[in-house]
C-alpha cells in the first residue's frame, strides 16, 4: 500500500468532513434543532431503505470480481440493471408501507418522504458503479466522486443560503439533485474507463444476486447499527432531540473517515492477494487503525465542547456529554469496519448472517429500552453497547473463521505498531512510500 493512496483517501474524507462542518454551521442556525432533526431523519430513512433494498450487490462484486476479471464490462452493465430494478422495487414497497403503516414514519411529511424515495434507484446505481470502480483499482475516480458530491452540495446549499431560501424542503431537494448529478459523473467515468462498452451477463447477474442475497442480512444489521438510533430518537423523543443527537453522531462519525478510508484501500488489495496473506494484511491494518482511532478520539474529547458550540450553537450543547459517552464505541467499531473486507473476501456470509441475528436483537432492545428510559443519554449508551457487541462478534470470527487463537491480541496495537505508525508518518513527511 502506498502512502500516497492512503493520504488521498483520507484527504478526500477530511475535505468532506470540513465541508460538512462548515455547512452544519450555517444550516443548524437556519433550521434550528427541529428542522435539522427532520432533515437528518429523512436522509436516515433514505439510507436505511437503500440498505434494505440493495441486496448487498457491492459485497457480491467484491467477492466475485477476483475470479471474473475478464467480465469487467458485465459487472458495470449488471450493476446498472440491478441498481434500477432493486431501487424502483424498494421505493415502491416503501411507499406502500408509508401508506399502510403511517405510525412507522412519525413526523415524516409525505411530500418530502416521496422525494427521498425518488432518489433511491439513482443512489443505488451510483453506489454499485462506485463499487466496480473501487474493485478495479480506479481509486482516483472513486475518491474524486466523493469530492464532487461534496462540492455540488456546497454550491447548491450556498446558493440557497445567499438567496435566503434555505428551508427543510429545499434541503431535501438539494439531496435529490446531488444524487442525480453525482450519478451522471460516476457512471460516465466508469463507461469511459471501459471504452464505452457495457454488457449484460445473465449468468453473472444471477451469481451476483445470489451471493448478495446470502450476505444481505449482515449488511442490513450493519446499517441498522449506524442509523436505527436516530430514527428511534426522532420517533420516541421528537425532532428537537433528533437534531441534537444528529450533531453528536455527526461529530463522532467524522472519525470514521479513518477506518472507511483504510477499508476502501483494502478491498482491491485483498482481491489481488493470495488467500494466505489476506488475514495477516487485515489484522495488521486493524491494529494500526485501532491505534490511530485512539489518538483521534482523544483529540475529539478535547475539542468536543468548542466544536459543538461552534457548529451548533447554544441550542445544541446537550450533544457534548453524548459525544463523551460514544467515543469509546467509535474506537471499537473501527475494527469491524476494517475487517469487513476480510470476511467478504472469504465469503463467510452464513456465519455473518447468523451472528447478525444476535446483533440485531441487541440493537433493537438497546435502542428501545435505553432511549425510552434515559432519553438522549440512553441513546448514546445504546450506541456504545452496539459498538462493543460488534467488536466482540468480530473477535469471534477471528477465532473461528480465521483460526487465530488469541484474537484480542491480533487487533490490539503494540509497540511494533506504534513504531510502524511513527515511521509511516515520517515517510509521509519525506514524501516516500511503503
pLDDT at position 339 over 50: yes
C-alpha cell at 349: 456470509
pLDDT at 12 (0 to 100): 64
Q: Mean pLDDT for the chain?
A: 84
Q: What is the mean pLDDT of residues 124-136?
A: 92
pLDDT band at 108 (very low <50, low <70, confident <90, very high): confident
pLDDT at position 117 over 90: yes
Ramachandran category for residue 238: left, alpha or beta (phi over 0 → left; psi -120 to 50 → alpha): left
pLDDT at 167 (0 to 100): 84
Name the residue ranges covered by the structural domains of the chain. 3-429
Q: What is the mean pLDDT of residues 77-103?
A: 92
Residue pointed to by grid coordinates 450556498? 158
pLDDT at 198 (0 to 100): 92
pLDDT at position 67 over 70: yes
pLDDT at 433 (0 to 100): 45
Residue pointed to by grid coordinates 460516465? 188
pLDDT band at 396 (very low <50, low <70, confident <90, very high): very high
pLDDT at 132 (0 to 100): 93
227-241, 328-342, 420-434: range with highest mean pLDDT: 328-342
Name the residue with higher pLDDT: 185 or 4: 185
Name the residue with higher pLDDT: 250 or 1: 250
Residues 6+ apart with CB under 8 A from 11: none
pLDDT at position 14 over 50: yes
Q: What is the mean pLDDT of residues 285-306?
A: 92
SS3 readout for the chain = CCHHHHHHHHHHHHHHHHHHHHHHHHHHHHHHHHHHHHHHHHHHHHHHHHHHHCCCHHHHHHHHHHHCHHHHHHHHHHHHHHHHHHHHHHHHHHHHHHHHCHHHHCCCCHHHHHHHHHHHHHHHHHHHHHHHHHHCCCHHHHHHHHHHHHHHHHHHHHHHHHCCCCCHHHHHHHHHHHHHHHHHHHHHHHHHHCCCCCCCCHHHHHHHHHHHHHHHHHHHHHHHHHHHHHHHHHHHCCHHHHHHHHHHHHHHHHHHHHHHHHHHHHHHHHHHCCHHHHHHHHHHHHHHHHHHHHHHHHHHHHHHHHHHHHHCCHHHCCHHHHHHHHHHHHHHHHHHHHHHHHHHHHCCHHHHHHHHHHHHHHHHHHHHHHHHHHHHHHHHHHHHHHHHHHHHHHHHHHHHCCCCCCHHHHHCCCHHHHHHHHHHHHHHHCCCCC
Nearest to 60 by CA among 212, 172, 168: 212
Q: What is the mean pLDDT of residues 326-330?
A: 95
List phi, psi (to 5°) of 413: -70, 150
pLDDT at 430 (0 to 100): 65
pLDDT at position 181 over 50: yes
Q: What is the mean pLDDT of residues 269-291?
A: 81
Q: What is the mean pLDDT of residues 335-346?
A: 85
Q: What is the mean pLDDT of residues 350-355?
A: 79
% of residues, the chain, pLDDT over 70: 88
Q: What is the mean pLDDT of residues 314-334?
A: 94
Q: What is the mean pLDDT of residues 131-160?
A: 86
Name the residue with higher pLDDT: 370 or 31: 370
pLDDT at position 434 over 50: no
Distance CA 294, CA 291 (A): 5
Name the residue with higher pLDDT: 210 or 217: 210
pLDDT at 223 (0 to 100): 65
**Range with the poorest average pLDDT among 57-66, 72-81, 99-108:** 99-108
Model confidence, pTM: 0.66
CA torsion angle 58 257 360 234 (round to 10)? -110
Amino acid at each position: 500500500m502506498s502512502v500516497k493512496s492512503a493520504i488521498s483517501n483520507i484527504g478526500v474524507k477530511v475535505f468532506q468532513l470540513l465541508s460538512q462542518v462548515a455547512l452544519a454551521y450555517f444550516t443548524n442556525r437556519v433550521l434550528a434543532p427541529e428542522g435539522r432533526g427532520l432533515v437528518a431523519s429523512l436522509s436516515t430513512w433514505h439510507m436505511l431503505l437503500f440498505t434494505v433494498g440493495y441486496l448487498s450487490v457491492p459485497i457480491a462484486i467484491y467477492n466475485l470480481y477476483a475470479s471474473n476479471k475478464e467480465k469487467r464490462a458485465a459487472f458495470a452493465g449488471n450493476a446498472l440493471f440491478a441498481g434500477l430494478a432493486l431501487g424502483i422495487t424498494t421505493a415502491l414497497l416503501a411507499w406502500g408501507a408509508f401508506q399502510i403503516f403511517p405510525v412507522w414514519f412519525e413526523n415524516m411529511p409525505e411530500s418530502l418522504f416521496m422525494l427521498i424515495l425518488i432518489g433511491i434507484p439513482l443512489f443505488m446505481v451510483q453506489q454499485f458503479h462506485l463499487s466496480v470502480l473501487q474493485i478495479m483499482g480506479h481509486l482516483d475516480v472513486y475518491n474524486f466522486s466523493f469530492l464532487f458530491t461534496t462540492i455540488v452540495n456546497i454550491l447548491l446549499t450556498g446558493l440557497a443560503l445567499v438567496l435566503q431560501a434555505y428551508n427543510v424542503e429545499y434541503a431535501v431537494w438539494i439531496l435529490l439533485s446531488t444524487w442525480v448529478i453525482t450519478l451522471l459523473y460516476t457512471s460516465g467515468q466508469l463507461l469511459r474507463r471501459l471504452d464505452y462498452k457495457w454488457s449484460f451477463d445473465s449468468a453473472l447477474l444471477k451469481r451476483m444476486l445470489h451471493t448478495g442475497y446470502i450476505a444481505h442480512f449482515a449488511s442490513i444489521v450493519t446499517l441498522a447499527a449506524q442509523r436505527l438510533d436516530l430514527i428511534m430518537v426522532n420517533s420516541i423523543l421528537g425532532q428537537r432531540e433528533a437534531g441534537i443527537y444528529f450533531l453528536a453522531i455527526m461529530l463522532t462519525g467524522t472519525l470514521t473517515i479513518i477506518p472507511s478510508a483504510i477499508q476502501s484501500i483494502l478491498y482491491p488489495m485483498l482481491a489481488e492477494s493470495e488467500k494466505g496473506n489476506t488475514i495477516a494484511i487485515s489484522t495488521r491494518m486493524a491494529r494500526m487503525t485501532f491505534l490511530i482511532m485512539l489518538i483521534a478520539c482523544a483529540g475529539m474529547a478535547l475539542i468536543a465542547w468548542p466544536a459543538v458550540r461552534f457548529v451548533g450553537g447554544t441550542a445544541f450543547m446537550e450533544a457534548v456529554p453524548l459525544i463523551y459517552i460514544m467515543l469509546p464505541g467509535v474506537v471499537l467499531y473501527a475494527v469491524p469496519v476494517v475487517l469487513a473486507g476480510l470476511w467478504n473476501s472469504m465469503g463467510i456470509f452464513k456465519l455473518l448472517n447468523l451472528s447478525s441475528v444476535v446483533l440485531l436483537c441487541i440493537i433493537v432492545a438497546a435502542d428501545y429500552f435505553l432511549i425510552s428510559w434515559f432519553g438522549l443519554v440512553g441513546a448514546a449508551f445504546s450506541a456504545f453497547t452496539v459498538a462493543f457487541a460488534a467488536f466482540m462478534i468480530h473477535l469471534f470470527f477471528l477465532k473461528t473463521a480465521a483460526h487465530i487463537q488469541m484474537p484480542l491480541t491480533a487487533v490490539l496495537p503494540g509497540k511494533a505498531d506504534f513504531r510502524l505508525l511513527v515511521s509511516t508518518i515520517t515517510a509521509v513527511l519525506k514524501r516516500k512510500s511503503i
